[in-house]
Structure formats: structure tokens, C-alpha cells
Amino acid sequence: MKKFSILLTVILLFSLVGCSKSEKKEFTSHIPPKTAEVGEDIQIDETNHIKITDISVKESEDLKYVVITYDWTNDSKKATTSDKSFTITASQDDVGLTPNLKVVEDKKKLVTQIEAGDTLSGMEQGFALNNEESPVVFSIKGNMLSIFIDGKPQAAYPVKVTVELP
């Protein structure tokens, strides 16, 4: 039994010495920009790109809606849908706008699966406006919960795109 304890101690010592000489692993991830512009290719996380192609205002039943039109590129290694990849929200004067699809022309695109590496163009989402004067801030967030900045984990944040209404 004593030989077994000595052998176990020696094995543990060697494993500890081996660990102390190993290099530190620094974790990295894609760090999205804090802000972006309409027409710009926005890499929101490691596998999703959004390019806003148009912002318009539409009217339905005496209410006004802002409609964001964009292209989405799936750079992951598997087919997926937009609802599993990113979210887009909107606000005016720091108040969230209510999403509304009644002014969206092709709602099916929001749940269309696209293959790895493909781009789905002309996607739309609508939001009921609070007023017609204040700029709208779109927040686009990938599906990652955390990112690594200087090797330290931090909560992932959305990319903000501020637009004046047309």
C-alpha cells in the first residue's frame, strides 16, 4: 500500500510540474463594432453579417411604421435561420418600438433557412413609430452571449445603427 501511495504522489507531482510549464491559453472572439452605418457590411458576431440596404416609413391603418430592409450572410458552418442567428430591435428616445410585420412584404424570409456561406437579400422588419421626428436606433445583436476583450469575458452587446427618418 505504501508503494502505491508513493507512486500516486510521484504521478501527481509530475502532472503538476507539467501544468506549470504549459502556456496560458488566451481566449479570443470577434469583437463587433459599437456603431455602424446604413450600407455598411456589419459583422455582428463570428458567423453573421448584416448589411442594411434601406430604411423607409410606411403607413397602415393611420399608423406609421419604420421598415428596415437588410441582407443577411450566414458565415457559420451549417444551415440556419435568422431567428436562431441574430435579433434586431428598434427604439426612439430610448423607448423600445413595437415590432409589427403587417408592413413587411415577404414575412417568410424571416424564417427561411439558408445554407452556410449564403446571403439572403431583401429581408424586412417593421416597427411602429412613436413619432416622426426623432431618429430611430436599431440594435443588432448576434447569438453569442459573451465576447472576449483582452482575454476577459464580457457580455456581448448589440451594434447600434442610428438613422434619421426619411
Q: How many CB atoms sit inside 10 A of residue 136's CB?
A: 21
Q: Which domain holds residue 102?
A: 41-163
pTM metric for this prediction = 0.81
Domain count, the chain: 1
DSSP state of 11: H
Residue 4 reports pLDDT greater than 80: no
Residue 35 reports pLDDT greater than 90: yes
CATH number of the domain that 148 lies in? 2.60.40
pLDDT: which is higher, 138 or 16: 138
The lowest-confidence range among 11-20, 31-40, 41-50 is: 11-20
| Gyration radius of the chain over CA positions | 24
pLDDT at residue 153 in the model = 86
What is the Cα–Cα distance from 4 to 9, expressed in whole angstroms?
Answer: 9
Residue 107 reports pLDDT greater than 80: yes
DSSP state of 112: -
